[in-house]
Every structure is written in structure tokens, then in C-alpha cells.
């Protein structure tokens, strides 16, 4: 007989049990379910809803159940549908009928919302920590390449030279925004729904704030209907995770291109590449390619969750059982990608000479020739036209700007003097962008210094959370 089966006259069809059971995936919530139950039973005793003796018996039983689940000794069954019913069944097997008092004043509806919030806040902190580690790997490459120049691209065409360190710092900035979004979303995750019951609260004189404090929540979800039906925090996580994997995918694409024979800008460490079963010479950037590919499944989880929720009336509906697998999968997918990316970035070899050679054989210094003429008081549009003619001449003669003689330059404009060769040198071009956010070396050093401080702040935030919540984990393991 199901724990809820009192009003039924026949058992559910076996196919229904199999189709509706969630224990195959929501067992990931076991430790969080027990954390919530320990806080709940303590509150029940404090509020004199159950006796202190019964609460202590239930607490000891939950601790035994937690150890059995952790050791793989607990039998989790589809018959008991989900992690909540399985834990309750294991508890009553340990302590007898008194275990049934644990569910006083709560429903699986507020219980699952609680478990998911506990799981997700841990997941957010894990991803923030991994993002900070990836930022550190990018900073290490930036610090090592403050004098490395490569072409900057627009439309995948060479545009203007930049420092490789500047390019790395662009990704540090992207991941900084990801960290900000995850940390900001934490405050919306970190609210306790427990006590909302099935949808309308409970007649028992519970203390919701006491449970919230015990579980280190910042407060409670005020409206009971909202508490059990809200999955905005899941959608927000899936959306933020989609941005993380999108940024990783963009960096992956650059690594795939840069490691090709056509670019030869970097070489990825052998530990993060694979070979071909047929072509012995091959070294494939499979990690970068697979991260790029996995962006699709993360986006799919976001769209799936939005689609599930879009037509649901308020309060809990069985459709919402679909809220977990996508959340679990997205976390594991992004976590795995970030864990791989940091060491892959840190160990890659930057081929400085090849990058510099590419800059020397293009027209990415053409804008500086135009700016040079503007500084000689030629209107920019006229300067632009002059430089366009110079570039066309170079293309026809199979030359680059620095290959031209001063006489060649003067054939296009008398404003051009001997100092043009210094102005058009890649090092000068890069360091001329001496504004906040520019690619001049001293400005990139400023970016690095500022990023290091923000990463330190992020790591302190992670450490504070871990110290606060470790007590909960120890109590339920």
C-alpha cells in the first residue's frame, strides 16, 4: 500500500508506477532531503507539535538512513516513487511508526521545493568556484603574454593588432559577468519554501523562520502558493548556465581555430586532445569541440523547462517533476566543462612568433595610418580614402605598409614623414590604444590587477558559504 493510498481501492498499474516514479533521478537530492528533515523535526519539537523524545528518535533514525544511503546500502524503490517517500520508508523501517510523525506539517510539494533549493545553492557555489579557477588560468596566460601580439579580428578578418593578454582578459570579463549573475541569483534561490504545505500552509503552529535559519536560508518564501509552484529559480539557473556554456563555446571555437595548421597560434597540451584511429598524424582538440557541442543540450534544458511551465495553473502539478533532470544535467555538464577548461588553458602553448608573423603580414595597422593623417589635420574621411588607396597599391604590388618607401608614402600624401615607420610598428599600434579598456600594455596590466582583486572577493564568498553550510552536510552524512 502506498503511503498516500488510504482513499484508493486498488493499486496503481505497474506501468503507472514505472512512468511516474522519479527515484531514478531525484535520489541526487537524498542528502538535501535529510538536511531538510532534520531541521523540520527539530522545529516540530521546539513548537511542541511532537515530543522531544519522538524528535530525537526520528533524528537518530534519519542519521542512520543518511549513512546507509551514502554507503550504498539503502534500497531505493520505484514503488515508493520519489526520494521523499523512500527516505520516509527507510526511516520507519529503522524507528517504527514514530517515523510517520516526521511528515507532520509539510507536503512533498514544499519538501521538493526545499530540496531543490538546497541542491541548487550548492551547485551555484561550485560553479562560481570553478569559474574563478578558470579566470585564474586565463590570468596566468595573460601575465605570461603581456608582450605577445596577435591579430584582432572582426568578421573573422584581421582588423587591428591586440595583445594576447588583452584577448584573454576579454574572456575573464565574460566569466566575471557569469559569476555576477550566479551570485545574484543565489539570493533568489536561498529562500525556504518549507511550511507552505501542499499549497495553503498548515494548521500546525510551525515556525518557518526557525527552519530557514537552521538551514542557513536568508528568509522564507512568503506566499504559500508561490512557494510550491515557483520554479523561476530553476529557469534562472538554466539561463545563466546557458550563458556560461555559450562563453565556453566561443573560447572553444577560438582554440579549435588557433590550434589548426592554418593558424598555428597555440598548441593544446596532449592531455586535452585525442588522435585518429585511421590517421596517425592527427591531434584533435576534442575537449574544446565537445564543450562547444554540449552547449546545445544546455540550451535544450532551458527551453524544455520554459515549455513545461508556460501553461501550468498555479500550485503544484505533476508536470513539474520534469524540473529536475534538466537542472541536474545542466549542472553536471557545465561543471565538467569548467573543470576541464582551467587546466587546458593553463597548459596550452602560445606560439608568439607565429602570432607576430601574422600581424606583420596584414594591414591591421591601416587605421593607425589614417589616425596619423588626422593628427596632421587631415579630415578623417579624407584620411580614410587616402589609406584605402595606399592599401590597394600594396595589394597590387604584393606588399604591406611597412614595405613601402617614404617616397611611396609621399606619393599618396605629403603629410607622411619618416616617423611613420615607428607609428606603424605593431608594438606602437598596440600601445597607442592607451585608454581605459584599451590594448596598451599598461592598460592590460590594470585589467589584470582589477580582475585579481575581484577573483579574491569571489573566492572569499565561496569560502564563507562552504564554512557556513559544512555543518549541515556533516549532520546529514
Q: What DSSP string describes 266-333?
A: EE--GGG-B--SS-TT--B-HHHHHHHHHHHHHHHHHHHHHHHHTTPPSS--GGGGGHHHHHHHHHHH
Q: What is the pLDDT of residues 419-436, one digit of tens each?
A: 999 999 999 999 999 999
Q: What is the mean pLDDT of residues 399-420?
A: 96
C-alpha cell at 40: 523540520
Ranges 20-24, 72-76, 130-134, 234-238: which has the least confidence: 20-24
| DSSP conformational letter for 11 | P
Per-residue pLDDT, 78:
85
User: What are the C-alpha distances in Å from 216 to residues 36, 169, 220, 272?
Assistant: 11, 35, 11, 39
Q: What is the pLDDT of residues 327-386, one digit of tens each?
A: 999 999 999 999 999 999 999 999 999 999 999 999 999 999 999 999 999 999 999 999
Q: What is the pLDDT of residues 143-153, one digit of tens each?
A: 999 999 999 99
Annotated catalytic residue: which of 22, 77, 252, 276?
276
Q: What is the mean pLDDT of residues 46-62?
A: 98
Please indicate whether residue 276 is annotated as part of the active site: yes
| DSSP conformational letter for 220 | B
Q: What is the mean pLDDT of residues 185-192?
A: 98
Per-residue pLDDT, 209:
98
Please indicate whether residue 155 is annotated as part of the active site: yes
Q: Is the pLDDT of residue 409 over 80?
A: yes
The string of DSSP codes covering 434-463 is -STT-SSHHHHHHHHHHHHHHHHHHHHHHH
Question: How far apart (Å, rounded) are the C-alpha atoms in residues 330 and 240?
Answer: 10
Per-residue pLDDT, 1:
61
Domains contained in the chain, CATH given: 14-104 (1.10.275.10), 109-350 (1.20.200.10), 366-424 (1.10.40.30)
Strands 266-267, 349-350: pairing kind: antiparallel
* Residue 79 banded pLDDT, cuts 50, 70, 90: confident
Nearest to 241 by CA among 340, 327, 172, 325: 327
Amino acid at each position: 500500500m502506498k503511503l498516500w493510498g488510504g482513499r484508493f481501492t486498488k493499486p496503481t498499474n505497474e506501468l503507472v508506477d514505472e512512468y511516474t516514479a522519479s527515484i531514478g533521478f531525484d535520489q541526487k537530492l537524498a542528502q538535501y532531503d535529510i538536511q531538510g528533515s532534520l531541521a523540520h523535526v527539530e522545529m516540530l519539537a521546539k513548537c511542541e507539535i511532537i515530543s522531544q523524545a519522538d524528535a530525537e528518535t526520528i533524528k537518530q533514525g534519519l542519521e542512520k538512513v543518511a549513512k546507509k544511503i551514502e554507503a550504498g546500502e539503502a534500497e531505493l524503490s520505484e514503488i515508493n516513487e520519489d526520494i521523499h517517500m523512500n527516505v520516509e520508508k527507510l526511516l520507519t523501517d529503522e524507528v517504527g511508526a514514530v517515523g510517520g510523525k516526521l511528515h507532520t506539517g509539510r507536503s512533498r510539494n514544499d519538501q521538493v521545493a526545499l530540496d531543490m533549493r538546497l541542491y541548487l545553492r550548492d551547485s551555484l557555489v561550485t560553479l562560481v568556484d570553478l569559474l574563478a579557477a578558470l579566470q585564474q588560468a586565463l590570468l596566468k596566460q595573460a601575465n605570461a603574454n603581456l608582450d605577445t601580439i596577435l591579430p584582432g579580428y572582426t568578421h573573422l578578418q584581421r582588423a587591428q593588432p591586440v595583445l594576447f593578454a588583452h584577448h584573454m582578459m576579454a574572456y575573464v570579463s565574460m566569466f566575471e559577468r557569469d559569476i555576477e549573475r550566479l551570485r545574484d541569483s543565489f539570493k533568489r534561490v536561498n529562500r525556504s519554501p518549507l511550511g507552505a504545505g501542499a499549497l495553503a500552509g498548515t494548521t500546525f503552529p510551525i515556525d518557518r523562520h526557525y527552519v530557514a535559519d537552521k538551514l542557513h536560508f536568508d528568509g522564507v518564501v512568503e506566499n504559500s502558493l508561490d512557494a510550491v509552484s515557483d520554479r523561476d529559480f530553476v529557469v534562472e539557473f538554466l539561463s545563466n548556465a546557458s550563458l556560461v556554456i555559450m562563453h565556453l563555446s566561443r573560447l572553444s571555437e577560438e582554440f579549435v581555430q588557433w590550434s589548426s595548421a592554418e593558424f598555428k597560434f597555440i598548441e593544446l597540451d596532449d592531455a586535452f586532445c585525442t588522435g585518429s584511429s585511421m590517421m596517425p598524424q592527427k591531434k584533435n582538440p576534442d575537449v574544446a569541440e565537445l564543450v562547444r557541442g554540449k552547449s546545445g543540450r544546455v540550451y535544450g534544458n532551458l527551453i524544455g523547462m520554459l515549455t513545461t511551465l508556460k501553461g501550468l495553473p498555479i500550485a503544484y502539478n505533476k508536470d513539474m517533476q520534469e524540473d529536475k533532470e534538466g537542472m541536474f544535467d545542466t549542472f553536471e555538464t557545465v561543471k565538467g566543462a569548467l573543470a576541464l577548461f582551467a587546466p587546458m588553458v593553463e597548459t596550452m602553448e602560445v606560439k608568439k612568433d607565429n602570432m607576430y608573423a601574422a600581424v606583420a603580414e596584414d594591414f591591421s595597422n591601416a587605421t593607425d595610418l589614417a589616425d596619423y593623417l588626422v593628427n596632421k589635420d587631415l579630415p578623417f574621411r579624407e584620411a580614410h580614402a587616402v589609406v584605402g588607396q595606399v592599401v590597394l597599391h600594396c595589394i597590387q604590388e604584393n606588399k604591406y605598409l611597412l614595405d613601402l618607401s617614404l617616397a611611396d608614402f609621399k606619393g599618396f600624401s605629403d603629410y607622411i614623414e619618416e616617423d611613420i615607420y615607428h607609428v606603424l610598428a605593431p608594438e606602437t599600434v598596440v600601445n597607442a590604444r592607451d585608454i581605459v579598456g584599451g590594448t596598451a600594455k599598461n592598460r592590460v596590466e590594470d585589467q589584470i590587477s582589477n580582475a585579481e582583486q575581484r577573483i579574491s572577493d569571489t573566492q572569499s564568498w565561496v569560502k564563507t558559504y562552504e564554512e557556513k553550510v559544512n555543518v549541515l552536510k556533516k549532520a546529514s552524512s
